[in-house]
Chain A
Amino acid sequence: MSMKVRALAGVLVLGILTTACATVKPWQRGMLADSCMVFDADSATAYMTHWQEAREGSMGGFGVQGGGCGCK
Protein backbone atom coordinates (compact mmCIF):
# COMPACT_ATOMS: atom_id res chain seq x y z
CA MET A 1 0.00 0.00 0.00
CA SER A 2 1.49 3.40 -0.92
CA MET A 3 2.40 5.96 1.74
CA LYS A 4 -0.50 8.23 0.95
CA VAL A 5 -3.07 5.46 1.22
CA ARG A 6 -1.54 4.38 4.54
CA ALA A 7 -1.82 7.97 5.82
CA LEU A 8 -5.45 8.19 4.79
CA ALA A 9 -6.27 4.80 6.26
CA GLY A 10 -4.54 5.81 9.50
CA VAL A 11 -6.63 8.98 9.82
CA LEU A 12 -9.84 7.10 9.22
CA VAL A 13 -9.05 4.20 11.55
CA LEU A 14 -8.30 6.79 14.23
CA GLY A 15 -11.73 8.23 13.59
CA ILE A 16 -13.42 4.86 13.98
CA LEU A 17 -11.53 4.06 17.18
CA THR A 18 -12.31 7.41 18.80
CA THR A 19 -16.04 6.83 18.41
CA ALA A 20 -15.82 4.37 21.30
CA CYS A 21 -14.48 7.07 23.66
CA ALA A 22 -17.18 8.32 26.04
CA THR A 23 -16.15 11.92 26.61
CA VAL A 24 -18.03 15.19 27.03
CA LYS A 25 -21.73 15.12 27.91
CA PRO A 26 -24.07 17.27 25.79
CA TRP A 27 -24.69 19.73 28.64
CA GLN A 28 -20.96 20.16 29.28
CA ARG A 29 -20.09 21.65 25.87
CA GLY A 30 -20.25 25.31 26.86
CA MET A 31 -16.51 25.90 26.58
CA LEU A 32 -16.30 23.90 23.34
CA ALA A 33 -19.01 26.15 21.86
CA ASP A 34 -16.89 29.28 22.38
CA SER A 35 -15.88 30.93 19.08
CA CYS A 36 -12.21 30.71 20.14
CA MET A 37 -12.53 26.89 20.27
CA VAL A 38 -14.10 26.39 16.88
CA PHE A 39 -11.99 25.63 13.82
CA ASP A 40 -12.21 28.14 10.98
CA ALA A 41 -15.03 30.17 12.45
CA ASP A 42 -14.90 33.28 10.28
CA SER A 43 -14.36 34.75 6.84
CA ALA A 44 -11.03 36.33 7.88
CA THR A 45 -9.59 32.83 8.26
CA ALA A 46 -11.00 31.74 4.89
CA TYR A 47 -9.45 34.79 3.22
CA MET A 48 -6.09 34.14 4.90
CA THR A 49 -6.15 30.55 3.61
CA HIS A 50 -7.08 31.81 0.12
CA TRP A 51 -4.23 34.28 -0.21
CA GLN A 52 -1.67 31.95 1.41
CA GLU A 53 -2.50 29.26 -1.13
CA ALA A 54 -2.06 31.82 -3.91
CA ARG A 55 1.35 32.83 -2.53
CA GLU A 56 2.81 29.55 -1.29
CA GLY A 57 3.41 26.19 -2.95
CA SER A 58 1.22 24.19 -0.55
CA MET A 59 -2.50 23.80 -0.07
CA GLY A 60 -5.21 22.40 2.11
CA GLY A 61 -5.07 19.48 4.50
CA PHE A 62 -7.30 21.06 7.10
CA GLY A 63 -10.62 19.42 7.83
CA VAL A 64 -13.93 21.11 8.35
CA GLN A 65 -16.78 21.03 10.83
CA GLY A 66 -16.94 19.24 14.12
CA GLY A 67 -16.55 20.39 17.70
CA GLY A 68 -18.62 23.36 18.82
CA CYS A 69 -21.82 23.12 20.81
CA GLY A 70 -22.97 19.88 19.17
CA CYS A 71 -26.54 21.23 19.30
CA LYS A 72 -29.33 19.63 17.27
Chain B
Amino acid sequence: MTRHLAGALILASLLGASLVAAPKDSLITDAPDITLTAISGKTMRIADLKGQVVLLDFWASWCIPCRKSFPEVDALHRELQPKGLAVIAVNVDEQQKNAYTFLEKYPHTMTIAFDPKGAVAAAFKLEAMPSTMIVDRSGHIRFTHQGYTEKTIGQFRSEVLQLLAENQ
Protein backbone atom coordinates (compact mmCIF):
# COMPACT_ATOMS: atom_id res chain seq x y z
CA MET B 1 0.00 0.00 0.00
CA THR B 2 2.81 2.41 0.99
CA ARG B 3 4.82 1.43 -2.11
CA HIS B 4 1.85 2.22 -4.34
CA LEU B 5 1.36 5.54 -2.61
CA ALA B 6 5.05 6.38 -3.04
CA GLY B 7 4.92 5.51 -6.72
CA ALA B 8 1.78 7.58 -7.23
CA LEU B 9 3.37 10.55 -5.48
CA ILE B 10 6.46 10.37 -7.73
CA LEU B 11 4.32 10.28 -10.86
CA ALA B 12 2.01 13.05 -9.67
CA SER B 13 4.97 15.26 -8.86
CA LEU B 14 6.56 14.81 -12.26
CA LEU B 15 3.33 15.57 -14.04
CA GLY B 16 2.07 18.26 -11.71
CA ALA B 17 5.37 20.13 -11.48
CA SER B 18 5.15 21.00 -15.16
CA LEU B 19 1.79 22.68 -14.58
CA VAL B 20 3.17 25.13 -12.03
CA ALA B 21 6.27 26.10 -14.03
CA ALA B 22 6.77 29.84 -14.39
CA PRO B 23 4.73 31.31 -17.27
CA LYS B 24 6.73 32.14 -20.38
CA ASP B 25 6.93 35.64 -21.78
CA SER B 26 5.44 35.93 -25.27
CA LEU B 27 8.12 35.79 -27.98
CA ILE B 28 9.17 39.15 -29.41
CA THR B 29 8.83 39.64 -33.16
CA ASP B 30 10.99 42.73 -33.78
CA ALA B 31 14.70 42.23 -33.36
CA PRO B 32 15.75 44.48 -30.46
CA ASP B 33 17.84 47.48 -31.43
CA ILE B 34 20.98 46.56 -29.56
CA THR B 35 24.69 47.03 -30.11
CA LEU B 36 27.03 44.07 -30.52
CA THR B 37 30.80 44.12 -30.08
CA ALA B 38 32.68 41.99 -32.59
CA ILE B 39 35.89 40.10 -31.82
CA SER B 40 37.79 42.83 -33.70
CA GLY B 41 36.48 45.40 -31.21
CA LYS B 42 34.21 46.98 -33.81
CA THR B 43 30.65 47.66 -32.68
CA MET B 44 27.57 47.11 -34.81
CA ARG B 45 23.87 47.68 -34.33
CA ILE B 46 21.32 45.07 -35.33
CA ALA B 47 19.31 47.89 -36.96
CA ASP B 48 22.23 48.65 -39.31
CA LEU B 49 21.83 45.18 -40.79
CA LYS B 50 18.33 45.85 -42.17
CA GLY B 51 18.18 44.84 -45.78
CA GLN B 52 20.08 41.63 -45.10
CA VAL B 53 18.87 38.33 -43.72
CA VAL B 54 20.60 37.90 -40.36
CA LEU B 55 21.22 34.63 -38.52
CA LEU B 56 22.14 35.21 -34.88
CA ASP B 57 23.61 32.12 -33.25
CA PHE B 58 24.09 32.27 -29.48
CA TRP B 59 26.85 29.89 -28.36
CA ALA B 60 29.24 29.24 -25.47
CA SER B 61 32.42 27.21 -24.92
CA TRP B 62 30.62 25.16 -22.26
CA CYS B 63 27.66 24.33 -24.49
CA ILE B 64 28.16 20.81 -25.82
CA PRO B 65 25.64 20.95 -28.71
CA CYS B 66 27.47 24.12 -29.84
CA ARG B 67 30.48 21.98 -30.75
CA LYS B 68 28.32 20.51 -33.51
CA SER B 69 26.35 23.63 -34.41
CA PHE B 70 29.29 26.06 -34.65
CA PRO B 71 31.09 24.53 -37.66
CA GLU B 72 27.76 23.79 -39.40
CA VAL B 73 26.58 27.39 -39.03
CA ASP B 74 29.95 28.61 -40.30
CA ALA B 75 29.59 26.39 -43.36
CA LEU B 76 26.13 27.87 -43.96
CA HIS B 77 27.64 31.35 -43.72
CA ARG B 78 30.29 30.53 -46.33
CA GLU B 79 27.63 29.12 -48.66
CA LEU B 80 24.99 31.84 -48.39
CA GLN B 81 26.88 35.03 -47.54
CA PRO B 82 27.28 35.88 -51.26
CA LYS B 83 23.48 35.71 -51.53
CA GLY B 84 22.87 38.20 -48.72
CA LEU B 85 23.06 36.24 -45.46
CA ALA B 86 24.84 37.84 -42.50
CA VAL B 87 25.76 35.45 -39.69
CA ILE B 88 26.73 36.71 -36.26
CA ALA B 89 27.82 34.08 -33.74
CA VAL B 90 27.24 35.70 -30.34
CA ASN B 91 29.37 34.24 -27.56
CA VAL B 92 27.97 34.43 -24.01
CA ASP B 93 31.00 33.14 -22.04
CA GLU B 94 31.55 35.32 -18.98
CA GLN B 95 35.30 34.82 -19.40
CA GLN B 96 36.43 35.54 -22.94
CA LYS B 97 39.55 33.38 -22.58
CA ASN B 98 37.26 30.34 -22.64
CA ALA B 99 35.74 31.56 -25.90
CA TYR B 100 39.20 32.04 -27.43
CA THR B 101 40.16 28.46 -26.42
CA PHE B 102 37.05 27.21 -28.24
CA LEU B 103 37.73 29.37 -31.32
CA GLU B 104 41.28 27.99 -31.61
CA LYS B 105 39.79 24.52 -32.12
CA TYR B 106 37.11 25.63 -34.62
CA PRO B 107 38.34 27.70 -37.61
CA HIS B 108 35.64 30.07 -38.82
CA THR B 109 34.85 32.88 -41.23
CA MET B 110 31.61 34.21 -39.74
CA THR B 111 31.50 37.28 -37.50
CA ILE B 112 32.01 36.53 -33.82
CA ALA B 113 30.56 38.91 -31.22
CA PHE B 114 31.06 38.86 -27.46
CA ASP B 115 28.27 39.28 -24.92
CA PRO B 116 29.95 38.46 -21.56
CA LYS B 117 27.36 40.29 -19.48
CA GLY B 118 24.45 38.71 -21.30
CA ALA B 119 22.85 42.01 -22.35
CA VAL B 120 22.21 40.81 -25.91
CA ALA B 121 20.98 37.41 -24.71
CA ALA B 122 18.61 39.13 -22.29
CA ALA B 123 17.38 41.52 -25.00
CA PHE B 124 16.53 38.54 -27.22
CA LYS B 125 14.96 36.73 -24.21
CA LEU B 126 16.86 33.50 -24.76
CA GLU B 127 15.15 30.46 -23.28
CA ALA B 128 17.81 27.85 -23.90
CA MET B 129 21.34 27.24 -25.07
CA PRO B 130 22.14 27.16 -27.89
CA SER B 131 19.58 29.49 -29.45
CA THR B 132 19.35 30.77 -33.00
CA MET B 133 17.26 33.64 -34.33
CA ILE B 134 16.73 34.28 -38.03
CA VAL B 135 15.83 37.88 -38.85
CA ASP B 136 14.33 38.98 -42.16
CA ARG B 137 15.36 41.99 -44.25
CA SER B 138 12.86 44.23 -42.38
CA GLY B 139 14.29 43.43 -38.93
CA HIS B 140 11.58 41.01 -37.84
CA ILE B 141 12.51 37.80 -36.06
CA ARG B 142 10.83 35.17 -38.22
CA PHE B 143 12.31 31.92 -36.88
CA THR B 144 13.59 30.94 -33.43
CA HIS B 145 15.36 27.70 -32.61
CA GLN B 146 16.26 26.33 -29.20
CA GLY B 147 18.82 23.56 -29.01
CA TYR B 148 20.62 21.86 -31.87
CA THR B 149 20.30 18.40 -33.42
CA GLU B 150 21.39 16.83 -36.71
CA LYS B 151 18.23 18.09 -38.40
CA THR B 152 18.54 21.71 -37.30
CA ILE B 153 21.08 22.93 -39.88
CA GLY B 154 18.77 21.76 -42.67
CA GLN B 155 15.95 23.79 -41.13
CA PHE B 156 18.23 26.87 -40.88
CA ARG B 157 19.13 26.52 -44.53
CA SER B 158 15.57 26.26 -45.83
CA GLU B 159 14.39 29.15 -43.62
CA VAL B 160 17.27 31.41 -44.71
CA LEU B 161 16.63 30.61 -48.39
CA GLN B 162 12.94 31.44 -47.88
CA LEU B 163 13.79 34.84 -46.38
CA LEU B 164 16.47 35.57 -48.99
CA ALA B 165 13.84 35.05 -51.68
CA GLU B 166 11.54 37.66 -50.09
CA ASN B 167 11.53 41.34 -51.11
CA GLN B 168 14.05 40.78 -53.89
Contacts and interface: CB of A to CB of B under 8 A. Distances in A.
Would A and B touch once assembled, by the CB under 8 A criterion? yes
Contacts of A31: 94
Interface string B37-71: 00000000000000000000010111111100000
Q: Name, among B9, B63, B127, the residue most crowded by chain A CB atoms within 10 Å (CB to CB).
A: B63
B2 interface: yes
Nearest to A2: B2
A67 interface: no
Chain B, interface residues (CB within 8 Å), range: 35 or more
Main secondary structure of the interface of A (DSSP, over half): loop
Chain A, interface residues (CB within 8 Å), range: 20 to 34
Given A2-B2, A12-B12, A29-B62, 8 more contacts: A8-B10, A12-B13, A25-B122, A26-B126, A27-B115, A27-B126, A27-B129, A33-B63
Interface of A: 2, 4-5, 8-9, 12, 15-16, 19-20, 22, 25-31, 33-34, 69-72
